[in-house]
């Protein structure tokens, strides 16, 4: 999934609103030999300052149960299926926030947060809902009892897709359908 560059827009703080503080996190990156390669910076919002009902409403995001993952891996082993794993880079930055909540972030001048930014309480939920809509749109059905397990059936072909936050596992009885699903996710 591609990252849209801007997660905030500058504006004047509306009367009666408080801006949430943020901070920059800096890391040094090293290669496998331990040599410095680059600096990495990430802007995070201080979500512990969020207030329920004002800055956040729904924050629950489901995760895959380990028993379900074990069952899927059992099916892979018993049927000699191919399995693929994908990690979505910057998953939180790929999704827009709900329209019903305005998040103001302090950084002169004040900014309105438009996309889910690192540290925001509702970021995982926004990511899950966006991914769910995409998967349903390409023909997957969500399992009723395990909402992080998706199944796509086309004739005799079946693809199983599991989601654990931003880690996705794809398997099934048809390698072409597995690769097609991986390609569709990469293009998104």
Residues 132-179: tens digit of each pLDDT: 999 999 999 999 999 999 999 999 999 999 999 889 999 999 999 999
Coil, strand or helix at 91: helix
Mean pLDDT of 9-13: 72
Domain carrying residue 23: 8-187
Q: Determine, yes or no, domain membership for 58.
A: yes
State the pLDDT confidence band at 4, using cuts at 50, 70 and 90.
very low
Q: How far is CA 78 from the centre of its chain?
A: 30
Does residue 19 lie in a domain region? Answer: yes
**Range 86-111 average pLDDT:** 69
Predicted local distance difference test score (pLDDT) of residue 133: 95
Give the 3-state DSSP-derived string for 8-60, with helices as H, strands as E and coil as C. EEECCCCCCCCCECEEEEEEEEECCCCCEEEEEEEEEECHHHCCECCCECCCC
141, β-bridge pairs: 151
- The answer to the question of residue 3 being in a domain is no
pLDDT at 118: 74
pLDDT at 26: 87
Residue 43 lies in a domain: yes
Mean pLDDT of 17-33: 85
Q: Does residue 39 lie in a domain region?
A: yes
Q: Look at the chain and report how many structural domains it folds into.
A: 1
Residues 62-87 have a mean pLDDT of 93
| % of the chain at pLDDT higher than 70 | 80
- Residue range 11-15: mean pLDDT, rounded: 74
Q: Is residue 12 part of a domain?
A: yes
Q: Residue 24: its pLDDT value, please?
A: 80
Q: What is the pLDDT of residue 7?
A: 63
Alpha carbon distances (Å) from 135 to 27, 39, 175: 34, 35, 18
Instruction: Report if residue 2 sits inside a domain.
Output: no
For 46, counting Cβ atoms within 10 Å of its Cβ (0-12 exposed, 13-18 middle, 19+ buried), the class is middle
Q: What is the pLDDT of residues 58-73, one digit of tens each?
A: 777 888 999 999 999 9
What confidence tier does 54 reach under pLDDT thresholds 50, 70, 90? Answer: low
pLDDT above 70: residue 184: yes
118, 43 contact by CB (below 8 A): yes
- List the structure tokens of 58: 């729904």
Residue 1 counted as domain residue: no
CA nearest to 55, candidates 16, 104, 6, 96: 104
């Amino acid at each position: 999934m591609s990252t849209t560059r801007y997660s905030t827009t500058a504006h004047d703080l509306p009367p009666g609103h408080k801006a949430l503080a943020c901070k920059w996190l800096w890391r040094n990156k090293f290669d496998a030999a331990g040599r410095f390669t680059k600096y990495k910076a990430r802007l995070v919002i201080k979500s512990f300052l969020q207030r329920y009902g004002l800055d956040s409403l729904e924050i629950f995001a489901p995760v895959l149960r380990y028993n379900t993952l074990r069952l899927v891996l059992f099916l892979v082993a018993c049927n000699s299926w191919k399995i693929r794993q994908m990690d979505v880079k910057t998953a939180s930055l790929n999704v827009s926030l709900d329209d019903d909540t305005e998040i103001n972030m302090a950084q002169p001048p004040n900014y309105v947060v438009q996309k889910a930014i690192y540290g925001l309480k509702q970021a995982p939920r926004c990511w899950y809902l966006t991914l769910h809509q995409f998967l349903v749109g390409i023909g997957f059905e969500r399992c009723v009892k395990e909402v992080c397990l998706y199944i796509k059936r086309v004739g005799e072909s079946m693809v199983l897709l599991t989601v654990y936050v931003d880690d996705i596992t794809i398997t099934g009885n048809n390698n072409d359908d597995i690769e097609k699903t991986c390609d569709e996710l990469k293009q998104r």
